[in-house]
């Protein structure tokens, strides 16, 4: 009965009709204005392989900033991750080798609340009152507010774990365990992916953290956030027996800030994780953009999705 109630609830949360988008590989089902009790409503895309069949069971990769994943024609900078092409290639190989195929869920950000949704809330709570005030007063390059609203990433994760994932699992033919549930994103999306697997290790088995924005804001001078990030991460790592981490970054633009902090994170990983359960990839000369993450995603899919049957 509880399962039936959940199914009806999630169908009731969908205000608009499902729409279908044309992309080069597979099929994209779009759910505009997916409602939530925890965060603002937002667009959700679900990518399915062209031969998707309800008779099979699929793993799921949840990804943030969903508007940048599939279609360069609809993005602000005309770049995309190419998730559909990369997963189509991966799934074709998985099918031949008897591995598990994956679908992808692209969760759009709502624009104004992106930083508030993605900044790890418990990291923020570790700061002193004066540090909190200075962080919330941080500005973007054009002097606009970085945080338009209070930080609510714990609520954002509740949306994914208690509303979106049950809807995906009841609507599509999925493998629901953490072994086949991955979360990934870039920049602040990488940060919230790290936070998600630490907060919900029973839900997510792997995290792809691309160009993880460890500074949290755009100012490094007197910035207390990196120390708090390392402290939180050190204390909340999930078990290495059934979890996996991928970290990547370039060396240009915003990515030039990440190397020193990532090395501190790597030292934590070296003490607690075997080499086959985590990886940090540094791409010299690449910067903070979708073409970088497209390359890194494609190169690391086999590692990240950790399928038995794929070598």
Residues 15/41, Cβ–Cβ less than 8 Å: yes
**Pairing of the two strands 278-283 and 244-250:** parallel
| CATH number of the CATH domain containing 301 | 3.40.50.1820
| Structure confidence by residue, pLDDT tens digits, 161-180 | 999 999 999 999 999 999 99
pLDDT-derived band at 140, boundaries 50, 70, 90: confident
Kindly state the percentage of the chain with pLDDT values over 70. 87
- Do the domain assignments include residue 138? yes
Question: Is 61 a domain residue?
Answer: yes
Q: Give the pLDDT confidence score for residue 15 in this predicted structure.
A: 35
What whole-number distance in Å separates Cα of residue 89 and Cα of residue 205? 22
CB burial of 94-122 (b: ≥16 within 10 Å; e: otherwise) equals beeeebbbbbbbbbbbeeebbbbbbbbbb
**Mean pLDDT of the residues in the chain:** 90
Structural domain boundaries enclosing 279: 2-305
Q: Mapped to the 3 state alphabet, what secondary structure does the chain carry?
A: CHHHHHHHHHHHCECCCCEEECCCCCEEEEEEEECCCCCCCEEEEEEECCCCCCCCCEEEEEECCHHHCCCHHHCCCCCCCCHHHHHHHHHHHHHHHCCCCEEEEEECCCCCCHHHHHCCHHHHHCCCHHHHHHHHCCECCCCCECCCCCCCHHHHHHHHHHHHHHHHHHHCCECCCHHHEEEEEECHHHHHHHHHHHHCCCCCCEEEEECCCCCCCCCCCCCCHHHHHHHHHHHHCCCCCCCEEEEEEECCHHHHHCHHHHHHHHHHHHHHCCHHHEEEEEECCCCCCHHHHHHHHHHHHHHHHCCCCCC
Q: What is the pLDDT of residue 259?
A: 97
Q: So what's the pLDDT on residue 308?
A: 55
- The answer as to whether 311 is a domain residue is no
Please determine, for residue 248, whether its predicted confidence score (pLDDT) is greater than 90: yes
pTM: 0.91
Reported as a single tens digit per residue, the pLDDT across 167-226 is 999 999 999 999 999 999 999 999 999 999 999 999 999 999 999 999 999 988 889 999
Whether 129 is covered by a domain: the verdict is yes
Query: Looking at the domain assignment, is residue 95 inside a domain?
Result: yes
Per the structure, the count of domains in the chain is: 1
Q: Is position 310 within any domain?
A: no
């Amino acid at each position: 009965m509880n399962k039936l109630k959940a199914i009806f609830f999630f169908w009731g949360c969908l205000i608009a009709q499902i729409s279908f988008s044309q992309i080069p590989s597979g099929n994209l089902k779009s759910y505009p204005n997916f409602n939530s009790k925890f965060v603002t409503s937002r667009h959700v895309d679900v990518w399915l392989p062209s031969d998707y069949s309800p008779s099979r069971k699929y793993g799921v990769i949840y990804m943030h900033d969903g508007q940048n994943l599939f279609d360069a024609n609809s993005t602000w900078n005309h770049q995309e991750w190419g998730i559909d092409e990369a997963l189509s290639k991966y799934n074709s190989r998985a099918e031949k080798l008897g591995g598990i195929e994956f679908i992808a869920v692209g969760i759009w950000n709502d624009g104004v609340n992106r930083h508030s949704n993605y900044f790890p809330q418990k990291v923020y709570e570790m700061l002193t009152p004066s540090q909190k005030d200075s962080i919330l007063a941080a500005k973007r390059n054009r002097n606009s507010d970085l945080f338009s609203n209070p930080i609510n990433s714990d609520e954002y994760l509740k949306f994914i774990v208690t509303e979106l994932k049950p809807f995906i699992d009841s609507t599509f033919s999925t493998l629901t365990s953490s072994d086949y549930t991955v979360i990934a994103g870039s920049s602040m999306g990488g940060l919230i992916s790290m936070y998600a697997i630490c907060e919900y290790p029973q839900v997510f088995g792997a995290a792809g953290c691309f160009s993880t924005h460890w500074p949290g804001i755009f100012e490094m001078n007197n910035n207390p956030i990196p120390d708090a990030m390392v402290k939180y991460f050190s204390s909340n790592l999930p078990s290495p027996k059934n979890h996996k981490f991928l970290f990547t970054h370039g060396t240009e633009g915003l990515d030039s800030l990440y190397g020193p902090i990532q090395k501190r994170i790597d030292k934590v990983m070296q003490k607690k994780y075997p080499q086959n359960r985590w990886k940090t990839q540094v791409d010299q000369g690449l910067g903070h953009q979708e073409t970088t993450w497209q390359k890194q995603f494609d190169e690391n899919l086999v590692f990240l999705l950790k399928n038995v049957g794929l070598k």
